[in-house]
Amino acid sequence: MRRKFRSGVQVFFTLCCMAAVAACDGSNTYVPPPPPKVQVALPLQRTVTQYFELTGNTAAYNSVDIEARVQGFLESINYQDGAMVTKGTELFGIQRNTYEAQVEQSKASLASAQASQVGAKQEFDRQTNLVKQGVSTQSLYDTAQANLDEANAAILNAQASLDLANINLGYTTVTAPFDGIVTDHLADIGALVGVSGPTKLATIVQTAPLYAYFNVSESQVLMIKESLEKSGHKLTRSDFPNIPVEIGLQTEEGYPHKGHLDYVSPQVDASSGTLMVRGLFDNAKHELLPGLFVRIRVPIGHTDNALLVPDDAIGVNQQGSYVLVLGKDDVIEQRQVKTAQRDGPLRVIESGLEPTDWVVALGIQRAIPGNKVAPERIELQDGSAGSASTDDAEKPEAE
């Protein structure tokens, strides 16, 4: 009986060991993970405008200090600080009574000179007739002519004094020389101005249109000159309105403000090696202010069939910029490239990439050089990273 029990236990133990060995054999089989999914696309090919991207500053089209040119007490301030005014608007009033009196005095002097001239003219005419009749001397005739000339000169002098008095009277009313914004007043009502020379009262600034100044380096100047010589065209001032200049503020995307070239300095500044250039902008809505730092873009040419890839698909290492491309058997390769300007979400590739290369556009973190991937082919578009080339394409996973 004991022997039968032992035999049964041995059989049961043998069966358990066999089952355990079979289970161990199945769990030790290695199953590699599937290749990571990435989205790849061919570079976008199209004509690209080449730009110089520079920095500069805005400046007022006109900026003038409003000054008191005559002496007197400031009697009125006829605008609100910071107000937009039009040309000819009265801004300040200076004491007028002194200058009105000077005008009246000059008028009286002119009237006296005119009366003296009438008497001198009559005496000259009488002496002329008497000389013809032979009853007067040449000396008396010459005296009459001298008196007439002196009377005529006195009239001119009196008229000039009257004109000067009217001019000084006009200076008591200070007006805006052009349309613009007037700063806060620098002298209060009752202050004596113009005592020892012109007194600054305020500043008027014209912001529409508006200038943007920037500097072009010597190498860029030579590049433009060479390009113009090859095209056989000589840049003249009449061409300036046809050359667009675009600017953007630090908080703005792209270059939303459009203008045109207005002025190019005739010489390079030897101290800085740059050429000063100016753009003109309408600024009708007064969105821009003088003195702002701006990003500037000026077109310099066109590149046909340029290759563009998403800017986010470009990496940087010690050798420079690179992109990941799909190699043989779906193995990722790292390709060093030379990049150029950005064009929206894309960037131009100058060299290192072929039109037939499939570039990893999305899922770059999962693409490791030398490893195999599961590529999903998409088509690049200008306004986005790309669109799937098949109807049942999966949406890209969040990075």
Q: Summarize pLDDT for 200-229 with one digit per residue, the tens.
A: 999 999 999 999 999 999 888 888 887 777
Percent of the chain with pLDDT over 70: 88
Looking at residue 195, the DSSP 8-state letter turns out to be S
Report residue 50's pLDDT band, with 50, 70 and 90 as the boundaries.
confident
Task: Please list the helix, strand and coil fractions of the chain in percent, rounded to the nearest 5, in that order.
Answer: 30, 40, 30
Residue 395, pLDDT score: 37
Residue ranges of the alpha helices (H) in the chain? 2-27, 97-133, 138-170, 218-231
First to last CA, the chain: 71
Average pLDDT over the chain, rounded to an integer = 87
Which of 25, 33, 170, 37 lies closest to 100, judged by CA?
Answer: 170
Structural contact between residues 187 and 74, judged by C-beta atoms closer than 8 angstroms = yes
Residue 387 scores a pLDDT above 80: no
Residue 193, pLDDT > 60, answer yes
Question: What is the average pLDDT across 319-324?
Answer: 94
Give, for 173, the enclosing helix (H) or strand (E): strand 173-175
What ranges make up the beta strands (E) of 42-99? 44-68, 72-77, 84-85, 90-94
Q: Is the pLDDT of residue 370 over 60?
A: yes
Could you tell me the domains of the chain?
37-48+304-388 (2.40.420.20), 51-60+206-300 (2.40.30.170), 76-93+173-197 (no CATH), 96-171 (1.10.287.470)
Distance CA 98, CA 23 (A): 119
Which letter does DSSP use for residue 81 in this model?
T
Reduced to 3 states (helix: H, G, I; strand: E, B; else coil), residue 340 is strand
The per-residue pLDDT for range 95-122, each reduced to its tens digit, is 999 999 999 999 999 999 999 999 999 9
Question: φ and ψ at 313, to 5 degrees?
Answer: -85, 0
The helix (H) or strand (E) run that includes residue 388 is strand 387-388
Sign of CA dihedral 277, 283, 289, 290: positive
| Bond prior to 209 in cis (omega within 30° of 0) | yes
Residue 22 has pLDDT above 70, yes or no: no
Report, as an integer, the average pLDDT of 376-399.
54
> What are the CA-CA distances from residue 5 to residues 1, 2, 10, 19, 367 (Å)?
6, 5, 9, 21, 63
User: What confidence category does residue 391 fall into, taking pLDDT thresholds of 50, 70 and 90?
Assistant: very low
